[in-house]
Chains A and B, each alone.
Chain A
């Protein structure tokens, strides 16, 4: 019997305490789109970026500088000022070798900024403990709110304004709290204050859910932006998406923190078998894909069932509504849950056309019975556990391989062995990796090379990656700037391109707020709330809420899915907002890129720095016209203001949408 953590997030959200994630609800996302919209009497639309149509035929080799830019864009989150020159000086192959074998120091280079986020280092057990305590607080507050209202009603007071919901505006929420306060006892008042985060003392509400969610998002942004181990961060991101977990499901809110650390980061460049195994032992994955509920059906045993129901009845009388709700969800009969079994084959290993049958899904599900998450009763709340009593110990056959009876926990390990070394897995995962690193439609020849390396090295991810980044296919003209950046890649590469750094100090926060507020004039609310002024919030607005892809597929590696009109508007707004210094945690460099004041020179230096000269004549002409018009109409704008303006335009340009 395991407790399924229920979703009472809404309780917390009602008080604005789970704001980090609710920020995601203010998104301006648009969906992926397969094909280019029909052009009206326009020349043939091709997926080839405009910039590559200027002066190059399709098989011109990349220049040395372009090869470097390509590496920085594909196994990195874009170039920072000076990166290209630095790599040129040391030699590209030496740089790549360093990236393929990142030192602990390189990986840790971004971590010093994350020392204020202790959740990142917490175990699953610690994370789940704080998850429950946060939920209990929320339930308590909600109950208190009800009590206060009952009392007010009994006293003849109006209670209308006391209601709060996740949809309440901040003003309504404040009004409700004020109304509640008027009717609260001193003790209740204290609790309400703490819940609203008004108290500065140590008794203030601790919100483990918010802490974990924030830490997860901020760490992702900081690492991608600042880490020296860029290739490693790209791979960790790839695997995190491959083994997708939506944090909005129950305790995944906190457990994903441990999953990120122990699965995709720990094994980013390790072997695929270890990676797959780590994911199968991740409590977050067990919850997300329901294997925590995958239990061998018991033969009808009235005595046992009676005991079970009695236990549930007893628990239902528990005064804790959280326990009550969890019990309510357990009334149904326990049995096989095929979800993880299906997705591990369809998504994590073999692929949708991987040649397995529904029978295989059932058999794999039987093998994984009993793999799940421990509870309080066994003293292992939140930890991965194998429960022998829930395991089906019969004989199974998976993809033609017989798994003998009484294997216990080993059944699942055998399944992992079979799947990790299956030729279909090699092809499916290699193809997806080539899609991320090389092209939306990766050449078959390259996938074959990856599969060969996989076989030769027993699924060594570092070696497979090396095969890709040293291949002629990788450096082909057809691959160069072929991919449209994901929103996350776009945001991070923008910050890097302009030499911005992440500053998580309180000062940085107030600066961001000030700029955003000032920009909107007196009394202007920040559209979508302050959290949309963070990089993670902007990425959400652009359509890729981090760790919140509901379907287990994760975000598509086919970058054409990112082309949509609503999302493009958000990208342009991001470019403007970034250069207007509105991002809460981004520090822009104080000094201009160039001392030049002539519009043409500024255009030259901005496009040179950010696009490395890969700029179409049309874009250059547009920038130049914008610049000269601006200067002729108001000469005071020349210099850094003009440079910032042009930089925003360049970041928003079609060229910079690609990597």
Chain B
């Protein structure tokens, strides 16, 4: 019952202490706090990477900073206007506002389940997407030859006594594409473009028809004599070979996914994922979380943030991306329901964009940006970090939002306080990083 106990300590009681339980808390928190059965579960971290450098100044607009509107006369999202939820920013705390296209996340912010860290980013000054993504994913700014990713090291350091800590093939999973740099390493992560197509694809075996060699080939494979069966036997018999164990894991993973009956999945609580790859990836992450296959870290990414031209303001190109991004996150949050108690969703981007708009109605490569964190462990309802200001003397190199929160302090806080990796592990997670718990911004409660 460890996870429930921890939850009660870190989440439930914290809520109770501010009078949110049971009357105002979300239903699932209420249930958990009142002692409803919570199965033994592990903590999960879901990392979402906005590739291409997301404009933090539009995503979470510092409408209280007068310099913003001087720098961005055309593209800054307007100051909050009472009931206007479409063309003005949605006020968060009197100084910051959420982009109106991200309204789907407002309930999470208001219920204290979403925090924002602003002016976050990398100490590296690079404005190369390639290098900055590399550094953020390896967790080692300006040090290139670290071969593995920070999430892989995180997965490897996750405490073993957690629920589902058995040798699961689904401990660390990247959905939607290739193995990201973040998960490269010894954690034996899986990169799956789409869960529905993970398995032995025996196209010849699936065909039927006459007068066709392949079809004949397929027909002979009836009666359980399938290609997968053949491979399984081959590897099962290869005892003593290092490939034997790997194959066993592979076939186990395939079998587990088959049992999940992915095709029949219906999101819970009326959650509706937006169409497109990103939404699909998040839905499949939700499926893995709910299936209790031992998932500890998951990763997905979304592109299209490199808005050099015609970025738009409350509407337009960036707004469309933000709508899809936030819509997918909101759906994931809603779909996971009370599982969010044990889940933290963390968003990141390699750097922000220039504080000034450029001649093409867009923004160029910048420095600081904003990260979002959602979940039961998150110290939400706040915009965290130190605001550096946008006056000319405060801008980084006279052009970009300065970085006041090292991304590693956010990652380290989530890894230690949410995933419960001992703080002594921080130097292993981020080689060369000298920060400690004292540098945490308070993203995670407790």
Contact = CB atoms under 8 A, between A and B. Distances in A.
B347 to A, nearest CB: 15
Given A568-B247, A619-B238, A331 B399 contact: yes
Contacts of B230: 622-623, 626, 649
A523 B149 CA distance: 39
Contacts of A602: none
Interface string B309-336: 1100000110011000000000000000
A152 interface: no
Contacts of B194: 527
B181 interface: yes
Interface string A9-48: 0110110000000001111111111101111001111111
A652 B231 contact: yes
B188 A30 contact: yes
Given A543-B179, A576-B200, A654-B235, A552 B129 contact: no
A143 B230 CA distance: 54
B203 A516 contact: yes
Interface string B146-171: 11000010000000000000010100
B178 A26 contact: yes
Contact of B188 (A33, A317, A644, A648): A33
Given A572-B231, A649-B230, A27 B191 contact: yes
Nearest to A621: B237
A190 interface: no
A250 interface: yes
Contact of A331 (B52, B187, B235, B397): B397
A233 B231 CA distance: 31
Nearest to B209: A518
B255 to A, nearest CB: 12
Contact of B220 (A38, A167, A248, A641): A641
Contact of A540 (B178, B222, B253): B178
Contacts of A165: 303-304, 321
B397 A641 contact: no
B423 interface: no
A24 B176 CA distance: 12
A166 B308 contact: no
Interface stretch (B34-42, B264-272, B359-367, B386-394): B359-367
Interface string B90-107: 000000000000000000
B129 A7 contact: yes
A431 to B, nearest CB: 17
A584 B234 CA distance: 28
Interface stretch (B211-219, B372-380, B402-410): B211-219
Interface size class of A (residues with CB under 8 A): 35 or more
Interface in A496-544: 515-516, 518-521, 527-528, 540, 543
Contacts of B320: 160, 163
Interface in B261-310: 275-278, 302-304, 306, 308-310
Contact of B214 (A343, A580, A636): A580
Interface in B118-137: 125, 127-131, 134
Nearest to A248: B130
A328 B365 CA distance: 7
A551 B145 contact: yes
Interface in B337-380: 354, 358-362, 364-365
Interface residues of B, number: 102
Given A29-B179, A642-B217, A622 B227 contact: no
B398 interface: yes
B213 A644 contact: yes
B359 A316 contact: yes
A47 B360 contact: no
A551 B131 CA distance: 10
Contact of A139 (B304, B309, B365): B309
Contacts of B428: none
B243 A39 contact: no
Nearest to B248: A37
A4 B183 CA distance: 29
Nearest to B398: A331
B185 A317 contact: no
A143 B310 contact: yes
Contacts of B167: 37-38
Interface in A240-262: 246, 248-250
Given A37-B249, A619-B234, A653-B234, A630 B225 contact: yes
A36 B167 CA distance: 12
Contacts of A317: 359
Interface string A636-648: 1100111011001
Q: Which of B52, B206, B303 has the most CB of A within 10 A?
A: B303
Contact of A633 (B189, B220, B233, B241): B220
Interface in A293-347: 316-317, 319, 321, 324-325, 328-329, 331-332, 339, 342-343, 346-347
A572 B228 CA distance: 9
A194 interface: no
B207 interface: yes
B186 interface: yes
Contacts of A657: 243
A146 B308 CA distance: 11
Contacts of A325: 308, 364-365
B358 A566 contact: no
Interface stretch (A263-271, A370-378, A557-565): A557-565
B239 A634 contact: no
Interface string A617-629: 0110111011001
Contacts of A150: 310
Contacts of A14: 304
Contacts of B183: 31
Interface of A: 4, 6-8, 10-11, 13-14, 24-34, 36-39, 42-50, 53, 139, 142-143, 145-146, 149-150, 160, 163, 165-169, 172, 246, 248-250, 289-290, 316-317, 319, 321, 324-325, 328-329, 331-332, 339, 342-343, 346-347, 352, 484, 515-516, 518-521, 527-528, 540, 543, 545, 550-553, 556, 560, 563-566, 568-569, 572-573, 576-577, 579-582, 616, 618-619, 621-623, 625-626, 629-631, 633-634, 636-637, 640-642, 644-645, 648-649, 652-654, 657
Given A32-B185, A528-B193, A649-B231, 7 more contacts: A31-B188, A167-B278, A324-B359, A328-B127, A545-B178, A576-B204, A626-B230
